[in-house]
């Protein structure tokens, strides 16, 4: 072990002059030795002094000349005593040997380079460059004089390699073996009584602690909390949304959605197998809903089809939180009228193909205001108030269609980042065909709007694939790291 080797060596010797040499002597990687030195130095078992080591080493080009000879010698040997044409000579040697060899051989006055003919100026030459390189390679730099070193360096045949090592001596806490210090006082120490002789590790008050492992709120929950606060500040009450299973009656029929509407198909809605139907519905109200679908009333012509109770009884996973709104408005109609502001934020389910922006379950935010004589102007005003609290103050509305609202409006907001209008929700005034059978007074109007919770959350957290936000592919560490939600109101 590196630690034993160092401490053991220092027990018998004054000093380790160079940790680099020491490492190669005992056959341990120098990096490993350096780590041990740092630890020993930290506990002051050794004193360490930096030393910078430098060594001349051959470059790849330099190495190649130790085998093939320098280019100038290679070129000289390619010129026969009687001379040779430039053209011939060029064919005999490598292009790089020709190029470098020519300039060096001329400089050394070895060759006469005529216009066409090349001839020797000396009988023979010595490959001094090769000899110098070999000497350096063998670590005999001291036998090479500075002028030659400079010349070889200039020709990029050698380079200076530097690295750091240490010289080591015993430190004030030196011991041939590091004493194990205790980090904990245990029951056993107390029972055996050896705690008296224990040496304890000192507290390190600047050590970083373990990151706290507590629960972390999901981004959707954080944004939901903020939205709840906004609704509460605006004087809205939260509706009870704790039933994912709903009957078709409250999800569709009560909302004047005809029974053959495509959204009521099993391709769009998850129907329950067990229990497949609901047991209890308010019978007199069911009768009024049946009549308004079949033949209208309250100034409406209705849809003119045979309304089936079996269809209304079918259980499903609610497709929107408007199912909860319909229950709440019905309850409201059973008492002397009082205006109300309601909201809900909870999960809904749709039998949809899953892609980067759609999931089969998501969350809806819904708000409604119920009072006498409300108008579309009130709806637009409330929407401006609500969305500006989310940091969206530029709104536009587009006429839309919902079976249960008239008029209906899609809500668009100008997205400063995307530089375009994006759809953010849907809204409208509930139809008299929905409100009057419930028993609400005739002059009561209900304005309402809905949007998904996922959309604003993805925008706030910069997530562009819904599967990174919700479901089994979510990266838990992202949930731990993400910031507390603050809606962008400036």
Which positions lie near ligand PHE, rule CB under 6 A? 320, 322, 366, 402, 405, 426-428, 448-450
Could you give the CA distance from residue 55 to residue 388 in angstroms, rounded to a whole number? 70
Among residues 428 and 456, whose Cβ is nearest to ligand PHE? 428
Residue 475 C-beta: closest distance to ligand PHE, Å: 29
The residue ranges of DSSP E strands in 373-489, in sequence order, are 395-402, 405-415, 420-430, 444-452
Give, in order, the Cα–Cα distances in Å from 63 to each of 138, 151, 157, 321. 12, 16, 8, 79
Closest separation between CB of residue 206 and ligand PHE, Å? Answer: 55
Supply the minimum distance, in Å, between the C-beta of residue 424 and ligand PHE.
Answer: 12
Looking at the Cβ atoms of 45 and 333, the one nearer to ligand PHE is: 333
> 62 or 432, CB closer to ligand PHE?
432
Q: How far is the CB of 364 from ligand PHE (least distance, A)?
A: 6
The string of DSSP letters for 198-241 reads --BPPP-TTSPPPPP------HHHHHHHHHHHHHHHTT-EEPP-
| Least CB distance to ligand PHE at residue 334 (A) | 22
Residue 462 — left, alpha, or beta (φ > 0 → left; ψ -120 to 50 → alpha)?
A: left
- Residue 104 or 322: the one with the smaller Cβ distance to ligand PHE is 322
Distance CA 300, CA 296 (A): 5
Count of all residues that appear for the chain in the document? 490
The tokens for 369 are: 């205001």
Residue number, 149 or 422, with CB nearest to ligand PHE: 422
HSE of 288, CA atoms in CB hemisphere, 13 A:
17
C-alpha to C-alpha distance for 12 and 288, rounded to whole angstroms: 105
Residue 98 or 404 with smaller CB distance to ligand PHE = 404
Q: Any bridge partners for residue 238, and if so which? A: 343
Residue nearest to ligand PHE (CB): 450
The answer to whether 255 touches 322, Cβ cutoff 8 Å, is yes
Of 297 and 403, CB closest to ligand PHE: 403
Q: How far is the CB of 470 from ligand PHE (least distance, A)?
A: 18
Q: Compute the least distance from the CB of residue 329 to ligand PHE, in Å.
A: 11
């Amino acid at each position: 072990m590196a630690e034993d080797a160092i401490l053991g060596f220092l027990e018998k010797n004054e000093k380790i002059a160079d940790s680099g040499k020491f490492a190669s002597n005992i056959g341990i990687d120098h990096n490993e030795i350096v780590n041990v030195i740092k630890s020993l130095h930290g506990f002051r078992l050794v004193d360490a002094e930096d030393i910078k080591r430098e060594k001349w080493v051959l470059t790849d080009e330099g190495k190649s000349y130790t085998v093939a000879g320098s280019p100038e010698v290679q070129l000289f040997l390619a010129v026969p005593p009687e001379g040779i044409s430039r053209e011939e000579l060029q064919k005999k040697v490598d292009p790089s040997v020709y190029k470098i060899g020519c300039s060096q051989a001329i400089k050394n006055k070895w060759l006469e380079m005529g216009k066409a003919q090349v001839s020797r100026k000396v009988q023979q030459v010595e490959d001094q460059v090769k000899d110098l390189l070999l000497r350096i390679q063998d670590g005999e730099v001291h036998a090479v004089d500075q002028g030659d070193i400079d010349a070889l360096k200039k020709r990029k045949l050698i380079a200076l390699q530097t690295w750091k090592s240490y010289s080591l001596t015993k430190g004030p806490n030196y011991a041939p073996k590091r004493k194990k210090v205790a980090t904990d006082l245990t029951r056993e120490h107390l029972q055996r009584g050896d705690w008296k002789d224990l040496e304890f590790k000192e507290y390190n008050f600047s050590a970083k602690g373990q990151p706290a492992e507590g629960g972390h709120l999901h981004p959707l929950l954080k944004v939901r909390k903020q939205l709840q606060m906004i609704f509460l500040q605006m004087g809205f009450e939260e509706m009870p949304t704790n039933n994912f299973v709903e009957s078709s009656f409250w999800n569709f029929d009560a909302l004047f959605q005809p029974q053959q509407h495509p959204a009521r198909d099993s391709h769009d809605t998850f129907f329950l197998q067990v229990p497949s139907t609901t047991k209890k519905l308010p019978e007199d109200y069911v009768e009024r809903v049946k009549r308004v679908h079949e033949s209208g009333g309250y100034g409406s012509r209705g849809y003119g089809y045979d309304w089936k109770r079996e269809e209304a009884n079918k259980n499903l996973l609610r497709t929107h939180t408007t199912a909860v709104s319909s229950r709440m408005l019905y309850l409201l109609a059973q008492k002397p009228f009082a205006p109300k502001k309601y909201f809900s934020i909870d999960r809904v389910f749709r039998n949809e193909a899953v892609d980067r922006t759609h999931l089969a379950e998501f969350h809806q935010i819904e708000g409604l205001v119920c009072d006498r004589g409300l108008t579309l102007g009130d709806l637009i005003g409330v929407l401006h108030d609500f969305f500006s609290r989310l940091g969206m103050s530029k709104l536009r509305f587009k006429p839309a269609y919902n079976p249960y609202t008239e008029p209906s409006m899609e809500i668009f907001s100008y997205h400063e980042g995307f530089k375009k209008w994006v759809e953010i929700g849907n809204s409208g005034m509930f139809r008299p065909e929905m409100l009057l059978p419930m028993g609400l007074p005739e002059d009561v109007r209900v304005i309402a709007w809905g949007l998904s919770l996922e959309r604003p959350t993805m925008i706030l957290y910069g997530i562009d694939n819904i599967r990174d936000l919700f479901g089994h592919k979510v990266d838990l560490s992202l949930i731990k790291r993400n910031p507390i939600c603050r809606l962008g109101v400036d």
